[in-house]
Chains A and B, each alone.
Chain A
């Protein structure tokens, strides 16, 4: 397939006929949907899920109450997602899990962002041997896939929820160190930094009060992606029964418990909570992707 006409840049190519879409462009909302379709999907999903996480637990039943007479009920009007081997309502459990998983994901992301950007500013702004030591240590931590690192930390500690949060945060800190540092390296060459220094601010103050706030952009976008990855990591660990344990209503725990039901045909005990994980992670990734976030680990 060869074209004989040299290709022109798109600006000079007359726009082809676009049919009715042309008109809809005048409407703000539709134009926005067209330009940023992924962002719209992501934000809608997130609003839905956060709403569910905040309000949902008050509306559904007890996620722990068992009902031996009604085990393995298929999805129905009474039990939207069916019931599991103990007769627990899978929908009620999934909704309670939404609150737990989103809280954990956001906590991990914020924790890693805070610690990572703090270290990143120190490395980038002060440079020299401080920078060298920090970056070599970061390399070591990055030599492990995040999941494996979190896994061994949780396995070596007691398996409590706090330890899971700490372990997964540690795995994501290097990502924020790198993002912040790269931005600080650009930022510190700018004139306002010289200005702040000449005005008599201490270097600590310049680094944290002037350079840091201006260097946070990429990390904040990165944090949306990391929130998604954190949910995935925590659920993955729970699926392997590391960290959060049954009967806690948590998506990964539920998939892990329900996985064996697949063999006997009760797909709903694992498929619904697993689908919720994917939807939640997607919400964060659609948003992060639209703002040009780079993938972590």
Chain B
């Protein structure tokens, strides 16, 4: 009994390592691809790159200065080598608007975005997963139909419209939540930084009032995003559960008389796990897009808001840095997801190839 089991773990360890190595190599290639694509989108544009960056009212000297500063008159191959060698050293260029290194500015704002993203995804999982399971268990019932209805509404929702609606009713109308300004009220000092999450840092430093305030400021943007994300999680869980419930092992479980509740929650859910991990990954990736719209609407000082400011001032260097950061975070996220898959399903690591 013991020997085959040990052999299996050994095999899976080797499989896992090879799998990870392959995955990592592909990711590096993708990151390289991302930087190349973004660089060429931003640099090789029809029109004068320097005057586009300098803005519509710039003087001739300013345009000339920017062209020199950023090497925009150099041949494109030279510019590319410059940018790549900077990138490898962790240099994403300097913002035209603030004259600060782009990477530093982005990293300063990342915790705000992550806090918003993680709470939104948490809310979405709490709503989407149970509803998806219930809908699948009662497929075709009115409950299922309403869950699907909700899912379509959520995935059709314009974030900016839902956000405005919530602001109108709950901030201005009922006054339950603060208006869309920043992460804390003006004058409240942020808690000492440990994680960069005001809610957690507030609790850690014993400033419960600050933590509560942070929660109140988070509520509306988190609900806006959570609602939309819950819809796609629900959809995926439902489909995955229906598939799992239709499989041979569930039929066997039914036949031997496993209680229905146990069958749903233990056997069904475990096998529906992979698609759910995928969706949560996709959803987190979508969120890491900084969610420019929600951060803009709620004046949330994260990377998305930074990107918006960059767009409205034609600060293409910052925008380029933002897009590259998002791409890289997304690639890292995908690695994490693939490892989670491999852990959740031995067939993947032993087979050695991820599906498509």
Contact = CB atoms under 8 A, between A and B. Distances in A.
Interface of A: 1-3, 6-9, 37-38, 136-137, 139-141, 143-145, 147-149, 151-153, 155-158, 178, 182, 228, 232, 235-236, 239-242, 252, 255-256, 259, 262-263, 265, 267, 270-271, 274-275, 277-278, 281-282, 284-286, 289, 295, 297
A255 B164 contact: yes
B106 to A, nearest CB: 14
Contact of B232 (A3, A155, A182, A295): A295
Interface string B239-260: 0000000000001001111011
Measured as residues with beta carbon below 8 angstroms from the partner, the interface class of chain B is: 35 or more
Nearest to A270: B164
11 contacts: A139-B26, A157-B46, A178-B356, A236-B293, A239-B293, A255-B158, A265-B172, A267-B168, A284-B156, A285-B155, A285-B156
Nearest to B163: A259
B145 interface: yes
B126 interface: no
B168 A151 contact: no
B41 A153 contact: yes
Interface in B269-312: 285-286, 288-290, 292-293, 296-297, 307-308, 311-312
A236 B155 contact: no
Interface centre among B45, B155, B165, B285 (most CB of A within 10 A): B155
Contact of A282 (B33, B156, B254): B156
A87 B153 CA distance: 32
Nearest to B49: A156
Contact of B152 (A262, A285, A297): A285
Given A38-B148, A140-B34, A274-B158, 6 more contacts: A145-B288, A236-B159, A277-B158, A281-B158, A285-B155, A289-B235
Contact of A241 (B33, B157, B262, B312): B312
A140 B153 contact: no
A271 B319 CA distance: 30
Given A152-B38, A239-B160, A274-B161, A158 B152 contact: no
Nearest to A236: B293
B152 A156 contact: no
A8 B254 CA distance: 7
Contacts, number: 160
A259 B257 contact: no
B131 interface: no
Interface centre among A140, A156, A235, A289 (most CB of B within 10 A): A156
A8 B311 CA distance: 59
Interface string B333-356: 000000000000000000000001
A144 B30 CA distance: 11
Nearest to A181: B356
Interface string B158-197: 1111001101100010000000000000000000000000
Nearest to A259: B164
Contacts of A289: 148, 151-152, 235
Contacts of A235: 158
Contact of A140 (B37, B158, B293, B320): B37
A281 B33 contact: no
Contact of A38 (B149, B236, B260, B290): B149
A107 to B, nearest CB: 19
B33 A240 contact: no
Interface centre among A37, A155, A232, A252 (most CB of B within 10 A): A155
Given A6-B255, A9-B254, A143-B30, A236 B168 contact: no
Contacts of B30: 136, 139-140, 143
B326 A148 contact: yes
Contacts of A275: 161
Contacts of B34: 140, 143-144
Given A152-B38, A262-B167, A278 B156 contact: yes
Contacts of B257: 6
Contact of B161 (A9, A157, A277): A277
Contact of B289 (A147, A158, A232): A147
A163 B32 CA distance: 26
Given A140-B37, A239-B293, A7 B152 contact: no
B156 A228 contact: yes
A37 B155 contact: no
A274 B356 CA distance: 38
B152 A271 contact: no
B323 A271 contact: no
B261 interface: yes
Interface in B222-241: 232, 235-236
B261 A1 contact: yes
Contacts of A259: 160, 164, 297
Interface string B7-48: 000000000000000000010011001100110011001110
